[in-house]
Amino acid sequence: KFYAESKFEGIWRLSKLTVSVDKDPGKDFLGVSDALVEEIAKVLEFPVASMLPQEAFKVVRKSFDARKLQKEQKFVYTVDVDVPKLLNLEPRTWEFIAEMEPKVGLVEHLPHDRTPGDIMSIIHACRSQDATASEHGDQNLCNGSHANASYRKPKVAVVGSGPAGLFASLVLAEFGVDVTLMERGEAVEKRGRDIGALVVRRILQEESNFCFGEGGAGTWSDGKLVTRIGRNSGSVLAVLKTLVQFGAPQKILIDGKPHLGTDKLIPLLQNFRRYLELLGVDIKFGTRVDDLLVEDKHVVGVKVSDSRENSSPSTSQQLGYDAVVLAVGHSARDTYQMLLSHGVSLVEKDFAVGLRVEHPQELINSIQYSGLANEVQSGRGKVPVADYKVVEYVNTDGITLPSNSAPRNRSCYSFCMCPGGQVVLTSTDPSELCINGMSFSRRSSKWANAALVVTVSSKDFAALDLHGPLAGVEFQRMFERKAAAMGGGNFVVPVQTVTDFLDNKLSGTSVPSSSYRLGVKATNLRELFPSHITSSLQQSLLKFDKELPGFISSDALLHGVETRTSSPVQISRSADTYECTSLRGLYPIGEGAGYAGGIVSAAVDGMYSGFALAKSLGLFHGSI
């Protein structure tokens, strides 16, 4: 009787189900516990929880929200109910269920095809559809079996092996494109040794470091996979499922705040590389693209050199391609300069600068979790290591601004928070100093770090007499050089305790210990930025402390300087084709082009650009 009613078919989604920490098996258990079934029964007003079959439920999201914790101390679940699996229930049970839908408001009836597969299976499905269309003579849908013997595969160069470049390569190669993936840095094995030499012997390889090399800037990172572009969107799920195909743990599909950690990212990238090679992608490490070959305002190839040597221009090679995908990230400042020389339209973009603050992780656990802090146990406990996210709006009324044009109101926020992590050097030039944060999958270090950054725009650059499309890059460089000088060189980072920063006094020589491995030097960080940026940081620290009491502490250490939060420019491109508006045949993608901010959004941009280019090449006829 109930099966016949359409509303009892398919999948229902139940959201905002909560299970208290003492009843929940803990953060690492992603299945359906008895306590969760009890909660489902309660929400559905179904009287006997034990009658509900566990196999009818699937956890699709499990989160632990620290902000709500002090009141609730609960895990929050989203669960899909497979209604046909409930059909084995007694008719009497169905009578209860029949009444429940209007009562709860947390129940959503989902379409059957809501879950996309990984990118490979999506493309395989699409190609087999094309093949079927071809068998039926539908030439419009078909990607073409290219029976013509003279058919030559289109040749595409993808520049940069960060998430954007990797996913673009994957999609294009799956569509049968002849892809060459060029990366100025090294494969993860060699890159790991170069990073080791940096951390232990202070040798910075300018082409193989925390920003450059296989996997891009996010390889030696916290590997947070959170994104602001919609956690449940089909494109994000397709990227996450693809990462699982390459070895990421299944839990990233469920965890409300998924993260991988450097130790998980490295083998994942090796698997990704092997798969691309199986598809025929030619991967060239240690290969830097120095220039574009342009004919009639159309890119026809690239000029590359061996980045392992200080190659002279005579050793560079010219290689022809049908299209070039540019996925160089936001630290390839030489590439921006090269694009300008070809008249490519680069537009200044707002970004944010500031300092990285580091607290003892135990302090953050106790601020966020109160009595539950003991449950953390260095990442092995029942609840996750505590993190935080803060944002405040501040104004600089009363501060003398360097020019009338600098904005008085701006937002200040925490960025790239790494619980149980460490502060790392992300400079790509020894005369500059900038930092970021990374962690391993267990997030078990004794420190918690996060950037505290303030938005800056073209008005701030103009106030320092920096103009033109690369004014933001010059602005970053100015403070990176100043930070290097304040640290005294040799990659030593200038630091100050949060309390001394607020009191405007130099921290003594016995500053709290730092996770940063190349040494710290006590300085007055109020001398680093212009006064309106410093004032914004001061005001926001006071506000953050209201939200997270104890955040202002003499155990909290500010590190300078955080400048590369996102790209300072955007490279103009068509919204449909992803092709550069000022140079045909060029496809600027990912964070460096100003279309992403983070691992997942860069990967999604890479994926879409791959589909768009495959479409332009006549290999794909669906909609993107």
Name residues whose C-beta falls within 8 Å of residue 494's C-beta, 6 or more positions apart in sequence: 483, 486, 487, 520, 521, 522, 523, 525, 528, 559, 560, 561
**Min separation Cβ 591 and ligand FAD, Å:** 4
Q: CA 289, 566, 623, 298: dihedral to nearest 10 degrees?
A: -30
- Nearest Cα residue to 503 out of 542, 455, 452, 545: 542
Cβ closer to ligand FAD: 301 or 598? 598
Distance CA 212, CA 183 (A): 8
- Residue 301 binds ligand FAD, judged by CB under 6 A: no
**Min separation Cβ 344 and ligand FAD, Å:** 14
- Residue 332 binds ligand FAD, judged by CB under 6 A: yes
- Residue 162 binds ligand FAD, judged by CB under 6 A: yes
Distance CA 88, CA 54 (A): 12
Q: Residues 120-159: x/- map of binding to ligand FAD (CB under 6 A)? A: ---------------------------------------x
- Residue 291 binds ligand FAD, judged by CB under 6 A: no
Scored b (16 or more CB within 10 A) or e, 451-485 reads bbbbbbbbebbbbbebeebbbbbbbbbbbbebbbe
Cis peptide before 561 (omega within 30 of 0): yes
Q: How buried is 355 (Cβ within 10 angstroms: 0-12 exposed, 13-18 middle, 19+ buried)?
A: buried
Which of 154, 176, 192, 216 contacts ligand FAD by CB under 6 A? 216
Cβ closer to ligand FAD: 437 or 530? 437
- Nearest Cα residue to 590 out of 283, 332, 412: 332
Cβ closer to ligand FAD: 191 or 526? 191
The pair of structure tokens assigned to 342 is 């070809």
Which of 154, 176, 223, 379 contacts ligand FAD by CB under 6 A? 223
**Min separation Cβ 156 and ligand FAD, Å:** 14
Q: How do strand 323-326 and strand 155-159 relate by DSSP bridges?
A: parallel
> What angle, rounded to 10 degrees, do the helices at 234-245 and 599-616 form?
100
Separation in Å, CA 524 to CA 445, 456, 469, 499: 27, 22, 32, 12
Which range in 177-185, 311-319, 463-471, 525-533 contacts ligand FAD by CB under 6 A? Answer: 177-185
Which of 239, 243, 269, 328 contacts ligand FAD by CB under 6 A? 328
**Ranges within 377-406 binding ligand FAD (CB under 6 A):** none
- Residue 599 binds ligand FAD, judged by CB under 6 A: yes
**Min separation Cβ 121 and ligand FAD, Å:** 23
Distance CA 180, CA 282 (A): 5
Q: How buried is 145 (Cβ within 10 angstroms: 0-12 exposed, 13-18 middle, 19+ buried)?
A: exposed
Which of 12, 77, 212, 475 contacts ligand FAD by CB under 6 A? 212
Which of 13, 61, 224, 573 contacts ligand FAD by CB under 6 A? 224
Which of 217, 243, 604, 619 contacts ligand FAD by CB under 6 A? 217
- Residue 590 binds ligand FAD, judged by CB under 6 A: yes
Cβ closer to ligand FAD: 364 or 438? 438
**Min separation Cβ 7 and ligand FAD, Å:** 39
Question: Could you list the residues that contact ligand FAD (CB under 6 A)?
Answer: 159-165, 182-185, 210-213, 216-218, 220-224, 288-289, 327-329, 332, 335, 416, 424, 426, 436, 438, 590-592, 596-599, 602
